[in-house]
Structure 1
Amino acid sequence: MPVAVGMIQSLGFPSILAAADASVKAARVTLVYFDKAESGQFAIAFRGPVSEVKAAMEAGLAAVENTFGGQIMSHYIVPNPPENIVAVLPIDYTETSEPFR
């Protein structure tokens, strides 16, 4: 089964926290990345089956829009990233995220 990766970048910590919370509650995905982006922006990445990542993305984007001051800066879904992309970028499952998979 192909494993997709979804990414959301937003302005402000409260909105990205709401997006992460809504994403993992709305679908069977695992949060694999969180970090500061730039200028008060934060980013998250989650992985799971393609249909689940799409549902998680919709929920996460809605959560950002519903958060006071939240603004979506960027978002995208990669349906089946190649192995070399997964090896280079910090989107692979880690020991910390593996129990939640």
Structure 2
Amino acid sequence: MTDGIASQQAVGSLETTGMPGNLAIADAMLKAGRVTLVSYIKGGSARFAICFRGNVSEVQRAMEAGIAVVEKTYGAKLETWVIIPRPHPNVERVLPIGYTANLEEFRLDAV
């Protein structure tokens, strides 16, 4: 479910090959920017995507940190990444990029 604050926040998504790399990436992103990890998606062939939310500048900072970690993590391979400044509410409703009740303690609403 979405709310007014979430729809004003950017969403970033980064897809890699290899779970250890994703663990290191998520950790670096959360330490680098005021962002909240909102979902983790396992694809086929050892591909993983992580999605995170925050204001645009913080999502950009977190993404830069995540990309830098991919380059330093043995076996990790960056497949693709994207930052969407204000995703359409329909996208938030259908894709797993919104805040859920179990994320409330980690939510950073600095819009």
| TM-score by shorter chain over 0.5 | yes
Counterpart of 1:33 in structure 2 is: 39
| Partner Cα separation in structure 2 for residue 13 and residue 48 of structure 1 | 23
Quick check: 1:17 aligned with 2:9?
Answer: no
Q: Secondary structure at the match of 1:96?
A: helix
Report the alpha carbon displacement of residue 35 of structure 1 after superposing the two structures with TM.
Answer: 2.0
Cα shift at 1:99: 1.2
Return structure 1 stretches of 4+ with deviation > 2 angstroms.
none
Q: What number of residue pairs does the alignment pair up?
A: 101
Given the two structures, how large is their TM-score scaled by the length of structure 1? 0.96
**RMSD in angstroms over aligned alpha carbons?**
1.0
Which segments of 5 or more consecutive residues in structure 2 lack a partner in the other structure? none
Residue 82, structure 1, aligned to residue 88, structure 2 = yes
| Cross-structure match for 1:71 | 77
Q: TM-score, normalised by structure 2?
A: 0.88
Unmatched 5+ stretches in structure 1: none
Letter of the 2:28 counterpart = A
Percent identity at matched positions? 51
Q: Return the alpha-carbon distance in structure 2 between the equivalents of residues 94 and 19 of structure 1.
A: 21
Bigger strand fraction: 1
